[in-house]
Chains A and B, each alone.
Chain A
Amino acid sequence: MTQPVTIIMIEDDEGHARLIERNIRRSGVNNEIVSFQNGTDAMQHLFGADGSGLVQKGNALLILLDLNLPDMTGIDILRQIKENKYLKASPVVVLTTTDDSQEIKRCYELGCNVYITKPVNYENFANAIRQLGLFFSVIQVPPAAP
């Protein structure tokens, strides 16, 4: 258990990605963040060339997922992650602009761990990200003790 958690951020909007990253960093989380701007690249990275997910075996991941992607819906990615035996243990945080109760319900049914509506209000957003940071630090596996 020496491996730090890698944050996988699947977010097509560069601005959003940058804001999320900054706020994560501001909250004092220094884990590696791997960004993807579309679903295809993210799927490639997560499931590997053979699509089995074997490449991520043993890796500690936290996935930040936007539901509105240009090439596929985040719901599909969420379902596939939760159906994969290597990936289903990784926490998924859904970040989206929609606060539609039906969609939220659907995401939780599919196994998402946290659903965050992107607020325009910066203070609330930063607060949410900071709380998420606390969550990160809790799950962050500490580096090997000296």
Chain B
Amino acid sequence: MTAEAHRRRTFWQILLFAAGLFVLTGISAGSVYLVNKAREDNQWVVHTIEVENQINSLLLEIRRAESSARGFLLTQADSFKIDHEKAVAAITPALDKLTRQSADNPAQRENVEKLRAAIETRLGQFAQEMEFIRQGQPDKAAALIREVVSTDATAAITKVATGMIHEEERLFRLRSENADRSQTFAASMTGIGSGLVVVLALISTWLVRRSARARDEAEARLRDANLNLESVVDERTADLREANDEIQRFAYIVSHDLRSPLVNIMGFTSELEELGGDIFRRIGGLAQVSANGAPLAPAGPGEIVLEGADKQLSEDFSEALGFIKTSIAKMDRLISAILNLTREGRREFQPVKIDTRELIEAIVSTLAHQAAEARAEIHIEPLPDIVSDRLAIEQIFSNLIDNAIKYLKNGVPGEIRIRGRTKLGYAIFEISDNGRGIDPKDHQRIFDLFRRAGTQDKPGQGIGLAHVRALVRRLGGTMSVSSELNAGSTFTITLPIAWNVSNRNRDR
């Protein structure tokens, strides 16, 4: 999975989440609003019904008052009178209630005012009727009733009330429709919203599953890659180990097998030398015989003195043999050096705790004679202790200190300093001198086997630094040099503070 795809996927997921949140918020707000609206609409419907009820109950009370008044007029019974008074008393509160209820509707309010006027007229008439009856003039009361029936008041009440009821019925229909619509709307909104949320959830699930699958695949690939890497590393390590072993074996066999013919060359050169001695003695003897003209007994070695051309021949012969023998000796030393190096490479290191200062002081004391001859002072500064192979560390430091003493400037008192410090699990040692220095172009060369740099006025094979570097590497460290011609040299060795057998010895 590329970073770009990953970013895009994350973006989509965030967008989806935001959309889901938005839809949910919308649905919630809409639902609350619509539910409130539906409740309000329902309230209005209830209100309409209440108003209608109130109108009906008002009319009922008026009819009751009318009928009880008539009953009283006919029977003069008190029960009708009481009933009439109750009804009359109920009319005004009922009317007031209706007035309050219809306050919201200007048209109804107007109607209520008309109704109130009509009812007040009618109440006045009721009072008059009752007054006539009380005064004992039922005829007048009956006449009044008849008159009332034909007057506008009753008709007006009926008409206005009917109008109001019609109006309320109209409102009821309207408001019911409104309430229905609100409820339907709320229901459909909830439905659509829920559907949307479900769809978003499905998309989200799909995305999550897809990314989980992609992650699983990536993990599997990573695992494969790791396994592969491990096997590759193992393979390479094995290859390197094998190559290293092979080089070691090769160097050993080569140097070993090179020595074998060298034994012959040296041996037969010596034979030749002896033969040469015999031959020249005989030549000398023959020359003397011919010179003296008398045969002599074979002379003993050393008694024959060659002369002239014979002497020259003998000297040439000896010189040639001398060069051959010097070369053989040199070759033998080189081969021995290679043998020693490979043997060193095969030696198993034993890590032990080393008191570095004590070890270096011991080396310095063995080199004290050379140091005094070169007028060199060796200063040892505080050094960190390490765990490493004692013999290897000894060889490293004695080679470097020996070199420092060996390559001082002629006639200048030497000053050699050994410093140490630690850094990140490594001990860093510096061996610096004020000697003749090394040209920067030779810095690599001095570490090569059999290579030397600078004025060749000191004996040496060019092995020391190659050996030191091989040892440092085997001990898991590195070494470097910083130097300028005629400005001294500083060799820096970095070694692990606690070297452990498992990392290198296992290779052999």
Chain A 111-146, CB-CB to B under 8 Å as 1, else 0, gives: 000000011111101100000000000000000000
Query: Which of A19, A123, A126 makes the CB contact (< 8 A) with B263?
Result: A19
A118 to B336, CA, bound (A): 13
A107 to B270, CA, bound (A): 30
Asked if residues A97 and B263 are in contact (CB atoms below 8 Å), the reply is: yes
Query: Which of A19, A98, A121 makes the CB contact (< 8 A) with B256?
Result: A98
Asked if residues B269 and A16 are in contact (CB atoms below 8 Å), the reply is: no
| Given A15-B268, A22-B271, A100-B343; A120-B256 close (CB under 8 Å) | no
A15 to B268, CA, bound (A): 8
Is A76 engaged at the interface, CB distance under 8 Å to the other chain? no
A22 to B274, CA, bound (A): 13
Q: How large is the interface on A (under 10, 10 to 19, 20 to 34, 35 or more residues)?
A: 10 to 19
* Chain B residue at smallest Cβ distance from A100: B343
Contacts of A98 in B (CB 8 A): 256
Chain A 9-36, CB-CB to B under 8 Å as 1, else 0, gives: 0000101100100100000000000000
Asked if residues B260 and A97 are in contact (CB atoms below 8 Å), the reply is: yes
Is A68 engaged at the interface, CB distance under 8 Å to the other chain? yes
A82 to B298, CA, bound (A): 50
Query: Which of A19, A22, A119 makes the CB contact (< 8 A) with B264?
Result: A19
Among residues 86 to 122 in chain A, which have CB atoms less than 8 Å away from a CB atom of chain B? 97-98, 100, 118-122
Q: Shortest Cβ distance from A132 into chain B, in angstroms?
A: 15
* Chain B residue at smallest Cβ distance from A123: B270
* Chain B residue at smallest Cβ distance from A23: B267
Contacts of B451 in A (CB 8 A): none
Contacts of A68 in B (CB 8 A): 256-257, 260
A125 to B328, CA, bound (A): 15
| Given A120-B332, A122-B269; A97-B256 close (CB under 8 Å) | yes
Contacts of A19 in B (CB 8 A): 263-264, 267-268, 271
* Chain B residue at smallest Cβ distance from A98: B256
Give the 4 A-B residue pairs with the shortest CB-CB distance, closest first. A122-B270, A15-B264, A19-B267, A120-B266
Write the residues of chain B forming the contact surface with A, with a CB cutoff of 8 angstroms.
Answer: 256-257, 259-264, 266-271, 328-329, 332, 343
